[in-house]
Amino acid sequence: MPTTTRPVLRFAPSPNGPLHLGHALSALTGWAMAQRLGGRFLVRIEDIDLERSSEAHIEGIFRDLAWLGVPWEEPVLRQSQHLGRYAAAAARLADLGLLYPCFASRREIAEASAAQGTPHDPDGAPLYPGLRRTMPAEEAAARRRAGEPYVMRLDMGRALVLAAERLGGAPLDFTELGDGDTSRRIPCDPVRWGDVVIQRKDVPTSYHLSVVVDDACQGITHVTRGRDLYPATDIHRLLQVLLGLPAPIYAHHRLIVDEAGRKLAKSARDTSLAELRAAGATVADIRRMIGLA
Ligand code: GLU
């Protein structure tokens, strides 16, 4: 008898601010899909930003989810407790010759980027202009020994060559689920991100690396998350191919925007779930506010 694997979904907030209406939509959408598919629902705390994450925000996340009526399985994975796992994945990429240290300051990057007409990545950050990608190994080693801070970047050109080899002619793309469970293959264009940071200065990982490693470790089959992360999926697919990890199905949901049409920020206290609750809002009110009623 063939074994069918149970779908696994997750809600993966970063605890650097209170959850707001956008998170409520994410959590409720993920949980609803998990129920519909008869799947499991996990919570992952994406706390690699050690300075901005706080225990108080983590506790707030659990309180808000419980209030919303979204149950989750224990144990909850906290990324800050798995830095070694991400470092090991980065080491695999380095062994493939795909990473290089970058010592450039923000200012150097901005200046070099301006000289090239300041192209931007899909998040609006100046596109890294490939400064000193080929720094001699001895110079890099000496600067590391001297304690100079650096990040590790992905050599996008080489990464694409290796990914194409691994794919053996198949396109780099991902499956996006739409309404009514229609699915589409979306072609990826990771070049628009340039040589992305794989390991930051302060932690041996980055959002892109940890999300890909953890989705695989937790056996996530369906990634439900906001539309703002749609372009990042290009990098996630590329890293999955390079690291030999399975490709989940993606379902990016609409964003909740403020009156000015901007995506809600964690700093927008007036839309935090805790504030709304304290002001007397019920879960039914929240559902109405995010268009789920
Ligand atoms: N931690 C990310 C956030 O709070 C979500 C990451 C993901 O779902 O892939 O925006």
| Residues 159 and 183 reside in one and the same domain | yes
Q: Does ligand 1 lie within 6 Å of residue 251's CB atom?
A: no
Q: Does ligand 1 lie within 6 Å of residue 26's CB atom?
A: no
Domain assignment present for 8: yes
Q: What is the mean pLDDT of the chain?
A: 93
> What residue owns the CA closest to ligand 1's atom 3?
13
Domain assignment present for 238: no
Q: Does ligand 1 lie within 6 Å of residue 13's CB atom?
A: yes
Q: Does ligand 1 lie within 6 Å of residue 195's CB atom?
A: no
Mean pLDDT of 21-25: 96
Cα 104 to ligand 1 centre (Å): 27
Scan for tokens 């450039």, then name that residue: 104
Q: How many domains does the chain have?
A: 2
Which letter, b or e, does each residue of 277-293 get, where b requires 16 or more Cβ atoms within 10 Å of its Cβ? Answer: beeeeeeeebbebbeee
| Residues 140 and 182 reside in one and the same domain | yes
What CATH number is given to the structural domain containing 39?
3.40.50.620
| Residues 157 and 180 reside in one and the same domain | yes
Q: Does ligand 1 lie within 6 Å of residue 210's CB atom?
A: no
CB 41 within 8 A of CB 10: yes
Q: Does ligand 1 lie within 6 Å of residue 229's CB atom?
A: yes
Cα 14 to ligand 1 centre (Å): 6
| Residues 89 and 198 reside in one and the same domain | yes
Domain assignment present for 251: no
**Which atom of ligand 1 sits closest to the CA of residue 228?**
10
- pLDDT computed for residue 65 by the predictor: 98
pLDDT in tens, 93-151: 999 999 999 999 988 888 888 888 878 899 888 888 888 888 998 999 999 999 999 99
Q: List strands edge to edge, sheet with 73-78.
A: 73-78, 40-45, 8-11, 222-226, 249-253, 173-177, 183-187
CA-to-CA distance for 247 and 236, rounded, in angstroms?
9
| Residues 88 and 190 reside in one and the same domain | yes
> Does 257 score more than 90 pLDDT?
no
pLDDT in tens, 207-254: 999 999 999 999 999 999 999 999 999 999 999 999 999 999 999 999
Domain assignment present for 250: no
Domain assignment present for 9: yes
What are the angstrom distances between the C-alpha of 117 and each of 107, 155, 176, 191, 200?
15, 21, 33, 17, 25
CA-to-CA distance for 104 and 133, rounded, in angstroms?
11
> Does 196 score more than 80 pLDDT?
yes
Q: Does ligand 1 lie within 6 Å of residue 233's CB atom?
A: no
Domain assignment present for 185: yes
Owning domain of residue 147: 83-206
